[in-house]
Chains A and B, each alone.
Chain A
Amino acid sequence: MFQQILALIIILFFISRIVWQKKKKQINNNEFIFWLTFWIIAGVAILSLKYIDKIVGFLGFSGTGIDILFYIAVVILVYLVFKIRIRQARIEKNITEIVRNISLKNKE
């Protein structure tokens, strides 16, 4: 019970952060909707742990619901890191293109 309350407090903190960032126009609409949905789903999952336990048991997993949520979170994080790495590589490529154009233009 205590862990659930703690998790909900953390989720509320993150929701307040994204609302604040949206107000300050630091994130766009799409990002706001994505992260708000993400944290609401996380909050609902925390509140529905008993049901998740049942579903997990029904599916034949040996761990509890919170374990499965944790595994899913790790998978999502790995995917997000990969996406960010690809995006970073694209930005690097664009920077190289800009640097190259400047060096060639300066020679003309």
Chain B
Amino acid sequence: MNLHDYNVNIFCVIPSYNEEDHIVEVIKDVKKITKNIIVVDDSSTDNTYSLAKSQKVTVLRHIINRGQGASLQTGNEYAYSNNADIVVHFDADGQFKAEEIKDIIKPIINNKADIVFGSRFLEKKSKIPKLKKIIILPLAKLINKIFFGINLTDPQNGFRAINRKALETIKIENDGAAHCNEILIKSFKNNLRIKEVPVSVIYNHFGQNILNGKGRGAGGIKIIKDLIIGRFIN
């Protein structure tokens, strides 16, 4: 599939916080797929901002660290105001493969879905850490199923693509890691057409703590707490 054959404006939002080791490589990989790249630097204390800037892509900077969910929403709003047709959420830590962006946007281009989620548990094999595979992810899946009626194979995956309609419908209000669940809940609530496609995930050694919420996709207990508090303030 060659993206240039389609008349669609694809934006890739890359939220980043202290990712100086990976950001340049990630941007270079994504550039092969789309030129519309938005890096949202969440007030990094290392060189992430200047390194991203050096790659001649759009870099938005949060003056205070607000979390991954907040960064994604900032990127979404920028993409929306720049006439994006499809927005892809992509991690800055090199966990995802840029060439799989083509797979994740395909159902939207073919008008089969409004929002597409990547899944580590369909066809492709990812080397998932044991604790995450046996306890954390099944638990997250169960909580999503019981409390929110959501039945997806990989609800915590951050690799997703959304079309303009979904962009208008979903405003991410959870600043932290709970945004994954929030996006899912809002997609189901608003009857968006949802699809899952297989993606591979390369795991780093960090960000696997269930309690403290530090690192990518971590902090299961904090996620539940944030979701509950979010219900009271909205």
Binding site for B on A (CB under 8 A): 85-86, 89-90, 92-93, 95-96, 99-100, 102-104, 106-107
Whether the pair B175, A96 counts as a contact (CB closer than 8 A) is yes
Q: How far is the CB of B192 from chain A (nearest CB, A)?
A: 23
Q: List 25 A-B contacts (CB under 8 A).
A: A85-B229, A86-B229, A86-B232, A86-B233, A89-B229, A89-B230, A89-B232, A89-B233, A92-B175, A93-B173, A96-B66, A96-B70, A99-B63, A99-B64, A99-B70, A100-B62, A100-B66, A103-B60, A103-B61, A104-B60, A104-B74, A104-B78, A106-B60, A107-B58, A107-B78
Query: In the assembled complex, which residues on chain A have CB atoms less than 8 Å from the CB atom of B62?
Result: 99-100, 103
B66 pairs with A102, CB closer than 8 A: no
Instruction: Return A31 CB to nearest CB of chain B, in Å.
Output: 22
B233 touches A90 (CB 8 A): yes
A86 to B63: give the CA distance in the assembly, Å: 24
Residues of B within 8 A of A96 (CB): 66-67, 70, 175
Q: Mark B54-98, 1 if CB is under 8 A from A, else 0.
A: 000010111110110010011001100100000000000000000
Residue of B nearest to A95 (CB): B64
A93 neighbours in B (Cβ, 8 Å): 173, 175, 233
Bound form: Cα–Cα A69–B40 in Å = 52
Whether A95 and B66, one on each chain, are in contact in the complex, defined by CB atoms closer than 8 angstroms, is yes
Complex alpha-carbon distance, A93 and B40, angstroms: 18
Q: Which residue of A lies closest to B74 (CB)?
A: A100
Q: Distance (Å) between the CB of A93 and the closest chain B CB?
A: 6
Per the bound structure, the CA–CA distance linking A104 and B157 in Å amounts to 26
Name the distance in Å between A38's Cβ and chain B's nearest Cβ: 24
Candidates A85, A100, A102; contact of B77 at CB < 8 Å:
A100
Shortest Cβ distance from residue A95 to the other chain B in the assembled complex, whole angstroms: 7
Are A103 and B40 within 8 A (Cβ)?
A: yes
B73–A103 CB distance below 8 A: no
Judge whether B229 and A103 touch: CB under 8 Å: no
Q: Which residues of A contact B81 (CB under 8 A)?
A: 104
CA distance A96 to B229 in the complex (A): 16
